Chain A
Amino acid sequence: MDNEQTWVAQAQRGDDQAFTQLVEAYQKPVYNLCYRMLGEPEAAEDAAQETFLRAFQRLSRYDAKRPFATWLLSIAAHYCIDRLRRRRFSTFSIDEQDDDSPAFEIPDADAPNPERESVRREQQEKIHGLLASLDATDRAAIVMRYWHDASEAEIAESLGLTVSAVKSRLHRARLALGKRWDESPMHPRPQRRPHESPAF
């Protein structure tokens, strides 16, 4: 990422255009993290904008030895965690969101049939509901792992945790997600009676 380092260096010298290039390059991962964390497009947009504003203000303190993406996602994750903690007791419905809003989702090039699309939507809503049930830090770890392919070390660096703590959090979060997935009414699992053959 030579371009990235050049843009960062130019932005550190006060070049607004270079920083805009960084915004263009990283808007999607930052927005996605905020969206998966907060569950609402408006809140995610605001959080993503705030993330870039904070990054701009702290750019002089950025250590070029760290990957820029990790640094940026770290700011976004901490901001979203703080925001979730502030509104912990307020009403929050992550699964009411229409995940496939054309203004905020990438159009599906595969264009599946309506029935399959409907199932996919239901499942995505369920994923949002599942994420919303997790603790803010666990949710950040899961989002970084599954959507950003971050390693446990990168997640640890971003969230200010140890690698073993990240492993433990991911383990716990996956277990909780699996239990909720199994218990969810949107996901009926045929219950086999004892001693019944799988063929029936």
Chain B
Amino acid sequence: MNHRPFEDWLLDEQPLTPEQTRELQIHLQDCAHCAALDEVNLELRSVKMAAPAAGFAARFQKRLAGQRLHERRNRLVGVLILAAGGAGLLGWSAAPYVIQFLASPAVWIAAAVNFLLTLLLMARAIGELGSILARVLPGFIPPFGWLALASALSGVVLLWVVSIWRFTRFSRGV
């Protein structure tokens, strides 16, 4: 049996004229295939909307609270793992010094004084190098170079600020 154009009318929900509707009804009496399409269409339209059991919103509130608690717990566990890891790393790197300090305080104090003196000498040397460069460099670097340097520094500072902002920003809700 030729289903055209009746099948297309049914499958594409085309708006029909009264004459087309009449032709379709005649065709549906003889054509099981098109009648099935029409019946399915009617059946789908007649099925009612299902509704959830009463108290859906209350159950959602409970679920939301549970999710928030779960997220808070996860965050806390994450912080604890980070803190424990950091403390472990610190302990591992500081262990030789602690052992040394406990074994002989005099040696440790001498080493510390030596270290501080080295730091001071280094800071002084860096300061002198800086003052020399400050006297010499301006003659070598053109104004464009200074501009590029300042832009790069600004970019780094901006990146740093944005990174801090992104990492410290709290997400809303759950």
3 nearest CB pairs, A to B: A182-B36, A178-B37, A31-B52
**Interface status of A105 (Cβ within 8 A of chain B):** yes
A24 to B56, CA, bound (A): 8
Q: Complex formed: what's the CA distance from A124 to B50 in Å?
A: 12
Could you pull out 6 A-B pairs where Cβ atoms are within 8 angstroms?
Answer: A14-B172, A14-B173, A44-B50, A60-B172, A147-B49, A175-B11
Given contacts A31-B50, A32-B50, A175-B37, 19 further A-B contacts (CB under 8 A): A20-B61, A27-B56, A45-B56, A49-B59, A56-B173, A59-B173, A104-B52, A105-B50, A106-B48, A106-B50, A108-B48, A123-B43, A142-B44, A146-B44, A146-B45, A174-B10, A177-B44, A182-B32, A189-B35
Cα separation A167 to B135 with both chains bound (whole Å):
76
Listed in ascending order, the chain A residues whose CB lies under 8 Å from chain B are 14, 16, 20, 23-24, 27-29, 31-32, 35-36, 41, 44-45, 48-49, 52-53, 56-57, 59-60, 99, 103-106, 108, 123-124, 126-127, 130, 142, 146-147, 167, 170-171, 174-175, 177-179, 181-182, 189, 198
If over half of B's interface residues share one DSSP class (helix, strand or loop), that class is named, otherwise mixed; here it is helix
B66, closest chain A residue (CB): A53
Whether A35 touches B53, Cβ cut-off 8 Å, given contacts A49-B60, A198-B29, is: no
- The reply to whether B57 and A23 contact each other, CB–CB distance below 8 Å, is yes
Given the known inter-chain contacts A57-B173, A142-B44, please indicate yes or no for A52 contacting B52, CB distance below 8 A: no
Docked complex Cα distance between A104 and B48 (Å): 12
| In the complex, chain A residues whose CB is within 8 Å of the CB of B30 | 198
Majority secondary structure, A binding face: helix
Q: How far is the CB of B3 from chain A (nearest CB, A)?
A: 11
B26-85 contacts to A (CB < 8 Å) = 29-30, 32-33, 35-37, 39-41, 43-45, 47-53, 56-57, 59-61, 63-64, 67
Given contacts A106-B51, A167-B12, A178-B33, contact A27 B44 (CB under 8 A): no
Contact B51 A45 (CB under 8 A): no
Question: Which of B33, B35, B48, B67 meets A105, CB within 8 Å?
Answer: B48
B12-36: which have CB < 8 Å to A?
12, 29-30, 32-33, 35-36
Across the interface, B64 reaches (CB within 8 A) one of A41, A56, A146, A181, namely A56
* A181 vs B32: C-alpha distance when bound (angstroms): 10
The interface residues of chain B lying within 8 Å CB-to-CB of A167 are 12
Bound Cα distance A146, B7 (Å):
19
In whole angstroms, what is the CA distance A142 to B54 when docked?
A: 27
| Interface status of B111 (Cβ within 8 A of chain A) | no
